């Protein structure tokens, strides 16, 4: 029953696309693509290895799939379709290439911490059927690609207006800048880890660059990427609502706005900050002080005593 509840919201979002006049073809094509991708790349390997980390391979390439489907089937203005499709391909491709590199060096041969933390959740609630729970967990993320995470791309790519509104440009700029922030944070973290390894230092807290102002600047950047896509989609809602029934229009608007909450909850509580920090506190004694002095998600000024006596890596 718990697995059904987990999948039901995403199936409902996909059903909205299939019930609409504007998105039935592109929604069906994308949904079948996502399910096929996840079965082959995520569900089967998860079943065989009892590890859910393969989601990190399937999810970003699923975003690339959304970009390719909307590029091929989007019926709106060509420039607008190219803009949103290109963003999805760029966002997914960047993470997908990193996932392939992780797979090649064997990083997926052990369960990533965010998925180990999910097992602890199952233990707390008394989950008995872990194989089924794993399948529901990974498939939910594939169905998210088939439903709500595809809403911005599909809504934008259906707009036939031949002029791009300032709000669309603003959303695109937000998404691009946020992607830069996310990438920069990842690069700074990788540089910090390499420097610690060279110096023989273990279990140091990364508090350089963007990590000085947020404990998870990469997750914040990713969240803002999706906010940018939502903003970019707002001007296209008028066209979509004009050709859809009032019920479908309301559901499409609600689904689009739900994207920002879905990604926030995922990146902070589900597979993001919360599970990461659960293990960081155990591995790094100084992490408790880092939590006390640095915002978890939203960047902000370092609180009193944040940087006292902390050695720097230049």
The series of mean pLDDT values per 10 residues for the chain, 314 residues long, is: 86 97 97 97 96 96 98 94 97 96 90 94 91 95 98 96 94 97 97 94 94 98 98 96 95 97 97 96 94 97 61 32
Question: How far apart, in whole angstroms, are the C-alpha atoms of residue 100 and residue 271?
Answer: 19
pLDDT score at 1? 67
Question: Which string of DSSP letters, residue by residue, matches 123-167?
Answer: HHHT---HHHHHHHHHHHHHHHHHTGGGHHHHHHHT---SS--HH
Which of 224-249 are b and which e, b meaning 16 or more Cβ less than 10 Å from the residue's Cβ?
bbbbbbbbbbbbbbebbbeebeeebb
Biggest distance spanned by C-alpha atoms of the chain: 63
Residues 6+ apart with CB under 8 A from 156: 76, 80, 81, 83, 84, 168, 232, 233, 236
Q: What is the pLDDT of residue 140?
A: 96
Give residue 5's pLDDT: 85
Please tell me the predicted confidence (pLDDT) of residue 305. 55
Identify the pLDDT of residue 208: 95
Enter the pTM of the model.
Answer: 0.93
Q: Length of the chain, please?
A: 314
C-alpha 210/C-alpha 192 separation (Å) is 12
- Give the pLDDT of residue 309: 39
Q: 3-state SS of the chain: helix, strand, coil percent to 5?
A: 75, 0, 25
The predicted structure's pLDDT at residue 49:
96
pLDDT of residue 314: 26
The pair of three-digit structure tokens given for residue 252, joined into one six-digit string? 């499409």
For 185-224, the pLDDT digits (tens) are: 999 999 999 999 999 989 999 999 999 999 999 999 999 9
- Taking only the tens place, the pLDDT of each residue in 113-164 is 999 999 999 999 898 899 999 999 999 999 999 999 999 999 999 999 989 9
pLDDT value at position 312? 34
């Amino acid at each position: 029953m718990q697995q059904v509840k987990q999948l039901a919201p995403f199936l409902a979002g996909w059903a909205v696309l299939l019930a609409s006049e504007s998105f039935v073809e592109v929604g069906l094509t994308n949904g079948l693509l996502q399910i096929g991708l996840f079965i082959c790349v995520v569900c089967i390997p998860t079943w065989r290895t009892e590890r859910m980390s393969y989601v990190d391979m399937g999810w970003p390439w699923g975003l690339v799939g959304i970009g390719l489907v909307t590029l091929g089937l989007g019926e709106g203005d060509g420039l607008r379709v190219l803009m949103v499709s290109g963003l999805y391909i760029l966002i997914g491709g960047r993470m997908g290439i990193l996932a392939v590199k992780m797979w090649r060096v064997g990083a997926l041969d052990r369960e990533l911490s965010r998925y180990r933390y999910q097992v602890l959740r199952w233990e707390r609630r008394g989950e008995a059927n872990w194989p089924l729970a794993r399948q529901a967990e990974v498939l939910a993320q594939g169905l998210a690609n088939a439903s709500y995470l595809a809403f911005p791309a599909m809504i934008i790519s259906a707009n036939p207006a031949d002029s791009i509104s300032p709000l669309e440009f603003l959303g695109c700029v937000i998404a691009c800048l946020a992607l830069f922030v996310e990438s920069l944070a990842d690069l700074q973290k990788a540089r910090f880890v390499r420097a610690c390894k060279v110096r023989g230092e273990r279990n140091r807290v990364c508090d350089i660059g963007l990590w000085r102002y947020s404990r998870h600047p990469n997750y914040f950047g990713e969240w803002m990427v999706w906010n940018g896509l939502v903003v970019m989609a707002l001007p296209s809602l008028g066209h979509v609502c004009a050709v859809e029934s009032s019920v479908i229009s309301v559901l499409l608007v609600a689904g689009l706005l739900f994207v920002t909450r879905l990604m926030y909850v995922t990146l902070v509580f589900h597979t993001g900050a919360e599970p990461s920090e659960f293990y960081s506190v155990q591995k790094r004694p100084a992490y408790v002080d880092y939590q006390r002095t640095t915002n978890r998600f939203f960047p902000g000024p370092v609180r009193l005593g944040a940087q006292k006596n902390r050695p720097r890596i230049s």
